[in-house]
Amino acid sequence: MSNQHLLTNELTELDKKHFIHPTSSIKEQQENGPAVILKEGHGVYVTDINGKTYIEGMASLWNVNVGYGRKELAQAAKEQMEQLAFSSCFATFSNEPAIRLAAKLAEITPGDLSAVFFTSGGSESNDTAYKLVRHYWKLKGYPNKTKIISRKKAYHGVAIGATSATGIQDFQNMTTALAPEFIHADTFSADSVREIIEREGAENIAAFLAEPIQGAGGVNIPPDGYFQAIRKICDENNILFIADEVITGFGRTGKMFACEHWNVVPDVMLIAKGITSGYIPLGAVVLREKLHRDLIQLSEGTLLHGFTYSGHPTACAVALRNIQIIEEENLVENARLMGEELHKQLKMLQSELPIVGEVRSLGLIGALEIVKNKQTNERFEKKLAPIIIHEARQRGLILRTVTFGDADTIVFSPPLVINKQEIEKMFQILRDSIIAVM
Ligand code: PLP
C-alpha cells in the first residue's frame, strides 16, 4: 500500500471514531467515512490529500469570498498573533484591530448603521440580536415587545434562538424550538407580515427578521418592492427590522450588502462569514445610530451579554485586511460582472436541458431547480440534485443541494475572485454531470 493510501486510511478511521461532523448524517459517516479530506486551496480551487483538485463552487459555506491561499490574510494573522494574539474586550478593555474594524464596518454598511457588537459567527450574531432588541424595548418601556417575525424557508443558524427563527422545519424537528416567540411569515408576502402583526398585536412584536436573499432555503430572491414594503410596515408599527446578511454581505450579490439592491436600511444588520472570508471565525451585529444612542441613554448597569471572543484582535485584524482586499481588488464589481456570466450560464443550461427548471441568481449566488416536467414543475420521485452534485464532485466541482420539503435544488456561491473561464469550466462540468445522470 502506498504512503498516500496509508494516510487516507488512517485519517478515515480516526475521523469515523472521533469526529462528529456538523450538519451531517452520523450513520453515513460511520459507514463511509469522509468523502473528501481537503488539504490546500488556491483561488477558486481546493485540493484533497490525494492530489485531486476541485473548483469550489460554493466558496465552502458561501463564505470564502476572496478565494483560497491569500498570504496577506495569513500575514495579518501572524503579525497580530505575535503582537497581541488575544485580549478580552469585556468592560473597559479594548484593542486597536477591534476599534478600527468597528469603524470600518460603520463606514461600509448602509445608512447610519454605525455601532458594532462582535460575535464569533452567524448564529451568535442572531441570538445576540434577538436579545438586544428585546432588551432595547424593555428599556424603552415596552416589556411585552418580545416576539420575532421571521419567515418560512429562512435559515438563521443553530443556536437555540437562531434555530427557532429558522423556517425550515427539518432543523426544528431535531429539538424543541422556542415556537411561541418566533412566528414565520410567508416568504415574500408583506400581507402575511401585516396579518401576523394584526393577530399578535404590534405591542407584542420586537422585530421582523429576514435574509435579504434566503441562502440555505434555496437562494430565494425577493421581488422588487418587497423589502421597501417591509421597511414601511416596520416603521408604522414600531417594529425593528433585522437583516441577516451573514451570506449576502461583503460583495456576494454584487453590492457590498444585499439590502442596497432595494435601498433599504435595516435597524440591525447581522454579519459573519465573508467578513473574514472564513479565514478565522468572526461575526457582528451592527446597530443604527439612533438605537445605539437610545441604548446609551436608557442603559443602567452592565450590559450582561458578551462572548469571550467578542472583539478578538486577531480575527479583527484578519477582517480588516480581508475588507481591504475586497476593496482594492474591486471584488464587489467582479461579483456583479461575473454574476452576469453565471446567470447566462444558468439560462443556457435551462434552455439546453429538459430537467433544468427555474434558475435564479443575483451576483454570485444562484440556484437551479431539477424538475421532471418544466411546464408543471413536477419533481422526480427520487431527488436527482444529490446524485448530480456527487457526479460533479467526481469530475472536479464542489456544489451543494437544497432538498428540504419537495426542493430538488442545486445552489452556487463561488469565491468572488472567479473569472469567466472558471465559470465556463464550472458549468461545463455541471452540464456533463447532469447529462450523465439524466
Ligand atoms: N444566518 C444565515 C443567513 C446563514 O446562512 C448562516 C449559516 O449558513 C447563519 C446565520 C449561521 O451562521 P454560523 O454557521 O456562522 O453560525
| Probe target for ligand 1 pocket from 155, 168, 171, with the most ligand atoms within 8 Å of CB | 155
For the segment 267-306, what is each residue's pLDDT rounded down to a tens digit? Answer: 999 999 999 999 999 999 999 999 999 999 999 999 999 9
Place of cell 451576483: 363
Task: Provide the 3-class DSSP secondary structure of residue 163.
Answer: helix
Instruction: List domains and CATH numbers for the chain.
Output: 36-66+330-437 (3.90.1150.10), 71-328 (3.40.640.10)
Place of cell 464569533: 120
Kindly report the protein residue whose alpha carbon is nearest to atom 2 of ligand 1: 156
Q: Is the CB of 272 under 6 A from ligand 1?
A: yes
How far apart are the C-alpha atoms of 97 and 85, rounded to whole Å?
11
**Distance from the alpha carbon of residue 343 to the mean position of ligand 1, in angstroms:** 24
Q: What's phi and psi for 155, nearest 5 deg?
A: -130, 125
Q: Is the CB of 161 under 6 A from ligand 1?
A: no
Alpha-carbon torsion (36, 40, 41, 45), positive or negative? negative
For the segment 56-87, what is each residue's pLDDT rounded down to a tens digit? Answer: 999 999 999 999 999 999 999 999 999 999 99
With beta carbons less than 8 A apart as the criterion, state whether 196 and 183 touch.
yes
Instruction: Looking at the CA of residue 61, tell me the nearest atom of ligand 1.
Output: 8
Buried b (16+ CB within 10 A) or exposed e, 183-206: bbbebbebebbbebbeeeeeeebb
pTM over 0.90: yes
How far apart are the C-alpha atoms of 422 and 166, rounded to whole Å?
33
Residue 239: C-alpha distances to residues 10, 103, 231, 232, 287 (Å): 54, 26, 9, 10, 14
Residue 341: C-alpha distances to residues 287, 364, 388, 427 (Å): 35, 9, 22, 10
Q: What's phi and psi for 200, nearest 5 deg?
A: -85, -25
**Distance from the alpha carbon of residue 376 to the mean position of ligand 1, in angstroms:** 33
Give, for all 438 residues of the chain, the pLDDT tens digit: 788 889 999 999 999 999 999 999 989 888 899 999 999 999 999 999 999 999 999 999 999 999 999 999 999 999 999 999 999 999 999 999 999 999 999 999 999 999 999 999 999 999 999 999 999 999 999 999 999 999 999 999 999 999 999 999 888 887 766 767 999 999 999 999 999 999 999 999 999 999 999 999 999 999 999 999 999 999 999 999 999 999 999 999 999 999 999 999 999 999 999 999 999 999 999 999 999 999 999 999 999 999 999 999 999 999 999 999 999 999 999 999 999 999 999 999 999 999 999 999 999 999 999 999 999 999 999 999 999 999 999 999 999 999 999 999 999 999 999 999 999 999 999 999 999 999
Q: For the beta carbon of residue 410, count every other beta carbon within 10 angstroms.
A: 29
**Distance from the alpha carbon of residue 59 to the mean position of ligand 1, in angstroms:** 14
Q: Is the CB of 121 under 6 A from ligand 1?
A: yes
pLDDT, residue 3, reads 86
Biggest CA–CA distance in the chain, Å, is 71
Q: Is the CB of 247 under 6 A from ligand 1?
A: yes
Q: Is the CB of 209 under 6 A from ligand 1?
A: no
Task: Provide the 3-class DSSP secondary structure of residue 309.
Answer: coil
